[in-house]
């Protein structure tokens, strides 16, 4: 705040300092006599005195513009920090959004809020802070407009646009280079958000929220550093134009004085007119940007407020044990829009059971699993584990017991090793064991020990290889309950049978729940249910 006040004082002084300089040019003898009385400039001639005065004026403007650039830099740094905190807070809120709300919301809206809306908010904040310091200057400039002489307009505007052309041509190259870097970093940040939001089940079930937030904080901090440099290059040209314009004023005054000897009518007009054009152009550009950004900001605030309502609040975590049964007691699920998925489902799963679930597409198999994993809360009835109902206090403890392999495997653009271990502690023996169980050990060892990057969404791997990585990931956590949701559909029948043989033979102490349309996949199950048969 104090620095802003200092910059404001320098801005006002830079306006009024023109008038003493004009007086010196108009009546140098009077000014020189005043300085001679003080023992200064006794040996200077008229031209030298004017040149020294002009150089002093130019130096004042250089200092003023330098201070202004520093002020602008700190404004962008401050707004960048606000942007980082706001966007990270939004990401945290989205990761904790109720799952039913999440799947009913366009994920693109989440991305826009985090990347675009917060950027607009940041830029609006910058413009608003600059707008405040412009108010006093605008008042002064409006007063100065009353003494403008239109006859000099062509000369001043010609010099102005000529200077702008060369200065902007130079800095446009700098801005382009930084803009390319900014674009690449923005792509990295958006990709991280995309991976998190489009694979929310894995993020929640493997408790990857903290890891994603840390990675996001690192990338968005880099993005804001690039943006600060980019903004500086955007502001430097206008300040250089102002400095160069006053240099032209000083030069023209010196030349006019030397050649004509009298510029009493010429000097005040060109000096004040140039000042007015420069200041008004800067102020009006910033005011226009602020007004337009404020229109966007209204929608941004509404988005932020809506998200706060959808965020799941943190509750005390209670431990829950699974030693006997999982019981779906008269479970009905209806989405908030009135779409009923199933009604009064009742069935029992004993510990270490091997359960198969089948049924036509759209009958609710995935929804049933979402209820089982705690992503969706039944509209009526309840899910009971050892006679304890799963609720917001026990859901975290319950989810830690589950290993989940979906049909579409979520893979980071990272190594095979990191895609299996995720944010969990690394254990070499455990890793080797799950690689063999998932029948991906040979491939892993042939890929430099798993250091091979799997590509965007695992596009370097085949569909079957991705599913085997997903199975290894689920087994790595040694879950009590293993859920396979069409987890082997991309595998050939021989490979599928080998993997299932390994899973069932080595995990007799685990409860395994398999969703599949293949009868060969379900042949290992003790019990096979259809959704329609479960509804009463």
Q: Would you list the domain boundaries of the chain?
A: 2-147+238-310, 325-534
Q: Helix, strand, coil % (nearest 5) of the chain?
A: 65, 10, 25
The answer to whether 524 and 500 have CB atoms below 8 angstroms apart is: yes
Most confident of 23-32, 121-130, 144-153, 261-270: 121-130
Give residue 190's pLDDT.
73
> Residue 311: is its pLDDT beyond 80?
no
The span from the CA of 344 to the CA of 169, in Å, is 71
pLDDT at 296 over 50: no
Q: Are 375 and 398 in contact (CB under 8 A)?
A: no
> Who's near 66: CB < 8 A, 6+ residues apart?
none
Q: What is the DSSP letter of 427?
A: -
pLDDT higher than 60, residue 129: yes
Question: Rounded mean pLDDT of 290-314?
Answer: 55
This prediction's pTM: 0.63
DSSP 426: P
d(CA 427, CA 200): 25
Element (H or E) spanning 465, and its range?
helix 463-476
Most confident of 10-24, 95-109, 188-202, 437-451: 437-451
Residue 133 or 516, more confident: 516
Residue 384 has pLDDT above 90, yes or no: yes
Q: What CA–CA distance (Å, rounded) separates 235 from 72?
A: 8
- Exposed e or buried b per residue across 129-151, where buried means at least 16 C-beta atoms within 10 angstroms of its C-beta: bbbebbeebeeebeebeeeeeee
Question: What's the rounded Cα separation, in Å, for the pair 428 and 445?
Answer: 13
CA 528 centroid distance within chain: 46
Residue 456 has pLDDT above 60, yes or no: yes
Element (H, E) at 358: strand 354-358
CB 354 within 8 A of CB 512: yes
Task: Classify domain 325-534 by CATH architecture.
Answer: 3-Layer(aba) Sandwich (3.40)
**Contact predicate 301/124, CB 8 Å:** no
- Letter string b/e over residues 92-123, b meaning 16 or more CB atoms within 10 A of that residue's CB: ebbbebebbebeebeeeebbbbbbebbbbbbb
In three state form, how does the secondary structure of 49-68 look?
Answer: HHHHHHHHHHHHHHHHHHHH
The whole-number average pLDDT for the span 461-477 is 88
Residue 527 host element (H or E) = strand 527-530
**Separation CA 213–CA 210 (nearest Å):** 5
Q: Is 328 helix (H, G, I), strand (E, B) or coil?
A: strand
């Amino acid at each position: 705040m104090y620095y802003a006040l200092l910059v404001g004082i320098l801005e006002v002084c830079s306006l009024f300092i023109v008038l003493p300089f004009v007086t010196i040019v108009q009546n140098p003898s009077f000014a020189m006599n005043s300085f001679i009385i003080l023992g200064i400039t006794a040996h200077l001639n008229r031209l030298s005195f004017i040149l020294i005065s002009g150089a002093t004026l130019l130096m004042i403007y250089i200092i003023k513009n330098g201070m202004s650039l520093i002020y602008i830099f700190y404004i962008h740094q401050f707004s960048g920090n606000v942007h980082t905190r706001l966007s990270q807070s939004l990401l945290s809120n989205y990761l904790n959004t109720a799952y039913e709300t999440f799947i009913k919301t366009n994920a693109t809206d989440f991305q826009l809020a985090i990347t675009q809306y917060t950027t607009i908010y940041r830029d609006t904040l910058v413009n608003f802070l600059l707008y405040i310091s412009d108010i006093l200057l605008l008042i002064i400039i409006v007063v100065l407009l009353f003494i403008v002489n239109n006859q000099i307009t062509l000369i001043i505007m010609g010099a102005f646009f000529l200077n702008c052309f060369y200065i902007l041509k130079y800095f446009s190259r700098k801005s382009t280079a930084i803009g390319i870097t900014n674009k690449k970093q923005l792509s990295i940040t958006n990709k991280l958000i995309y991976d998190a939001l489009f694979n929310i089940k894995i993020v929640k079930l493997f408790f990857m929220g903290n890891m994603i937030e840390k990675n996001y904080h690192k990338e968005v901090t880099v993005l804001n550093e690039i943006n600060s440099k980019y903004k500086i290059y955007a502001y430097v040209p206008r300040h250089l134009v102002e400095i160069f314009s006053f240099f032209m004023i000083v030069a023209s005054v010196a030349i006019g004085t030397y050649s004509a000897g009298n510029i009493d009518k010429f000097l005040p007009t060109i000096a004040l007119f140039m000042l007015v054009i420069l200041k008004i152009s800067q102020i009006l550009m910033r005011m226009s940007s602020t007004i337009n950004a404020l229109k966007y900001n209204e929608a941004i605030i509404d988005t932020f407020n809506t998200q706060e309502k959808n965020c799941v609040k943190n509750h005390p975590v209670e431990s829950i044990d699974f030693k006997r049964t999982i019981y779906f007691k008269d479970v009905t699920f209806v989405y908030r829009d009135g779409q009923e998925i199933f009604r009064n489902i009742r069935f029992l799963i004993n510990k270490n059971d091997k359960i198969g679930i089948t049924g036509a597409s759209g009958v609710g198999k995935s929804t049933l699993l979402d209820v089982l994993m705690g992503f969706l809360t039944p509209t009526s009835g309840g899910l009971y584990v050892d006679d304890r109902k799963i609720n917001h206090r026990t859901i975290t403890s319950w989810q830690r017991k589950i290993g989940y392999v979906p049909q579409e495997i979520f893979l980071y653009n990272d190594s095979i090793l990191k895609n299996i271990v995720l944010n969990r502690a690394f254990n070499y023996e455990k890793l080797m064991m799950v690689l063999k169980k998932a029948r991906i050990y040979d491939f892993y060892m042939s890929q430099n020990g798993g250091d091979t990057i799997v590509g965007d969404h695992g596009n370097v791997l085949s569909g079957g290889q991705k599913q085997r990585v997903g199975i290894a990931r689920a087994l790595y956590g040694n879950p009590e309950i293993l859920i396979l949701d069409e987890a082997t559909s991309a595998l050939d029948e021989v490979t599928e049978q080998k993997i299932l043989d390994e899973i069932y033979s080595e995990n007799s102490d685990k409860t395994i729940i398999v969703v599949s349309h293949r009868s060969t996949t379900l042949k290992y199950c003790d019990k096979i249910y259809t959704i329609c048969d479960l509804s009463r």
